[in-house]
């Protein structure tokens, strides 16, 4: 009688568990492709999309520690792949579960319709995908997006604001805990404010009205900053000195702003009053940069307000929207791949290339799993 070693038994048992777990994943993937897979989020069932693959795998139940280990190996591979290219984890897992690599037709230049096709493939045709597509058309593909819910909203409302980012922040000598200014006026001075006399009439006018002014300049004398800080802390003046970094060229992009001043028109500052400004900007301070919302710029900030019954889904919606933005950027920059099968699935070219690497790596990990268990 042939004697079977313990290592052979462990290895065979491990591979059997791998096949069993992959069969479970295959059934999930089939339901996902057919639009029949759901999961619970925020206390309600949600139809799963390919963009939710990491969440689906992480919630897949396991019966023992070995299955848990197998799941974690698959999950780590998919998460890593998705972090490198959106959609690649799904493609890699599909190739392993179907035991074949899909073939594609490639196009290096993508149009808006191509981006829309990839979004539909990975995100379906529901609310999240529609919001991403609206952001691309009405704002910018890399817009900064924030979400909230409101009892006043009857349907999702998208507001788009241009946003300008400037390298620089409040002068270190100016003491305040405020990180954001609302209903703020802005003025840009491409130079250094060395004395209060340069801006005295401006300060007098803003002191009377108690309104916010973001004062951008290349530099300020200690006397100027000290006076502004002292008056701010005593509640007499709300003028915030923001020092723009010397090498930052952003000021050139606002040369046409009505309150931009340099050596050619610096003398006009002496005649400015509150009435010379529009109070339609929001200014935020973060690390070593300052953002201005509402000013002309190619960059955009998007806020989406949902009805209150979406409140518990905000986290999921935010994840999906950010995923859709990544998909759009990758498709626009790398090109598009269309599967040659009966069903024409669309992916970014980058995700197809990344999936090939992931398949090779994950297959090796699963094939050698028995040895890993023995070493442990």
Lowest mean pLDDT among 59-63, 101-105, 177-181, 255-259: 59-63
Q: Is residue 131 part of a domain?
A: no
Q: Is residue 304 part of a domain?
A: no
Q: Is residue 334 part of a domain?
A: no
Asked if residue 217 and residue 104 are part of one domain, the reply reads no
Q: Tell me, what CATH number does 188's domain have?
A: 3.50.7.10
Which of 266, 298, 330 finishes a domain?
A: 298
Q: Is residue 133 part of a domain?
A: no
**Residue 87 has which token pair?**
């959609």
Tens-digit pLDDT profile for residues 317-359: 999 999 999 999 999 999 999 999 778 899 999 999 999 999 9
Sign of the CA dihedral with 253 first, then 254, 260, and 264 last = positive
Give the predicted TM-score (pTM) of the model: 0.75
Sign of the CA dihedral with 47 first, then 49, 52, and 53 last = positive
Asked if residue 178 and residue 285 are part of one domain, the reply reads yes
Instruction: For residue 195, report the phi and psi dihedrals to the nearest 5 degrees.
Output: -145, 155
Domains in the chain, number: 2
Asked if residue 81 and residue 24 are part of one domain, the reply reads yes
Please, are residues 184 and 361 in contact by the beta-carbon 8 Å criterion? Answer: no
5 band by pLDDT with thresholds 50, 70 and 90: very low
Q: Is residue 335 part of a domain?
A: no
pLDDT at 296: 79
How far is the CA of 44 from the CAs of 59, 72, 127, 219, 323, in angstroms? 15, 26, 16, 54, 21
Percent of the chain with pLDDT over 70: 95
Tens-digit pLDDT profile for residues 261-289: 988 888 888 889 999 999 999 999 987 89
Beta strands in the chain (DSSP E): 38-41, 44-47, 104-107, 144-150, 157-170, 180-193, 212-220, 239-244, 260-261, 281-286, 289-293, 300-307, 336-339, 346-348
Query: How many Å from the N-terminal Cα to the C-terminal Cα in the chain?
Result: 30
- Interatomic CA distance for residues 105 and 360, integer angstroms: 21
Please, are residues 362 and 77 in contact by the beta-carbon 8 Å criterion? Answer: yes
Supply the range of the domain harboring residue 370: 6-109+345-375
15 band by pLDDT with thresholds 50, 70 and 90: confident
Asked if residue 81 and residue 196 are part of one domain, the reply reads no
H helices present in 127-279, as ranges:
127-138, 200-209, 222-233
The position carrying tokens 């196009």 is 107
pLDDT at 213: 96
254 band by pLDDT with thresholds 50, 70 and 90: confident
Tens-digit pLDDT profile for residues 155-213: 999 998 888 888 889 998 998 889 999 999 999 998 899 998 889 889 999 999 999 99
Q: Cβ of 106: how many Cβ atoms within 10 Å?
A: 12
Q: Is residue 355 part of a domain?
A: yes
Asked if residue 279 and residue 189 are part of one domain, the reply reads yes
Q: Cβ of 263: how many Cβ atoms within 10 Å?
A: 8
**Residue 115 has which token pair?**
């981006």
295 band by pLDDT with thresholds 50, 70 and 90: confident
Asked if residue 357 and residue 239 are part of one domain, the reply reads no
- Interatomic CA distance for residues 326 and 310, integer angstroms: 23
């Amino acid at each position: 009688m042939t004697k079977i070693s313990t290592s052979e038994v462990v290895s065979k048992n491990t591979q059997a568990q791998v096949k069993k777990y992959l069969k479970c994943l295959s059934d999930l993937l089939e339901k996902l492709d057919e639009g029949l897979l759901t999961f619970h989020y925020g206390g309600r069932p949600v139809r799963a999309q390919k963009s939710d693959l990491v969440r689906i795998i992480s919630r897949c139940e396991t019966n023992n520690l070995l299955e848990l280990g197998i799941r974690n190996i698959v999950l780590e591979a998919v998460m890593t792949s998705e972090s490198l290219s959106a959609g690649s984890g799904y493609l890699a897992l599909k190739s392993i579960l179907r035991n074949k690599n899909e073939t594609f037709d490639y196009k290096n230049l993508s149009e808006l319709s191509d981006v829309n096709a990839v979004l539909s493939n990975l995100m379906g045709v529901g609310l999240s995908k529609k919001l991403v597509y609206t952001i691309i058309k009405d704002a910018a593909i890399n817009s900064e997006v924030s979400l909230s819910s409101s009892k006043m909203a009857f349907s999702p409302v998208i507001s788009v604001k241009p946003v300008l980012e400037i390298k620089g922040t409040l002068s270190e000598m100016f003491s305040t805990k405020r990180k954001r200014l609302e209903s703020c006026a802005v003025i840009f001075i491409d130079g250094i404010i060395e004395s209060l006399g340069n801006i005295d009439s401006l300060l007098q006018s803003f002191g009377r009205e108690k309104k916010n002014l973001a004062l951008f300049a290349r530099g300020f004398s200690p006397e100027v900053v000290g006076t502004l800080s002292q008056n701010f802390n005593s509640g007499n003046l709300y003028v915030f000195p923001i020092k723009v970094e010397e090498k930052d060229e952003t000021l050139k992009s606002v040369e046409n702003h009505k309150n931009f001043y340099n050596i050619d028109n610096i003398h006009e500052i002496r005649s400015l009053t509150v009435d010379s400004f529009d109070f339609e900007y929001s200014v935020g301070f973060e690390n070593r940069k300052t953002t201005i919302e509402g000013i002309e710029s190619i960059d955009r900030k998007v806020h989406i307000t949902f009805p209150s019954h979406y409140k518990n889904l905000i986290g999921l919606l935010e994840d999906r929207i950010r995923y859709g933005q990544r998909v759009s950027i990758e498709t626009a920059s790398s090109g598009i791949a269309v599967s040659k099968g009966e069903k024409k699935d669309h992916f970014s070219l980058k995700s197809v290339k990344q999936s090939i690497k992931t398949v090779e790596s994950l297959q090796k990990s699963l094939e050698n799993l028995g040895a890993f268990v023995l070493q442990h």
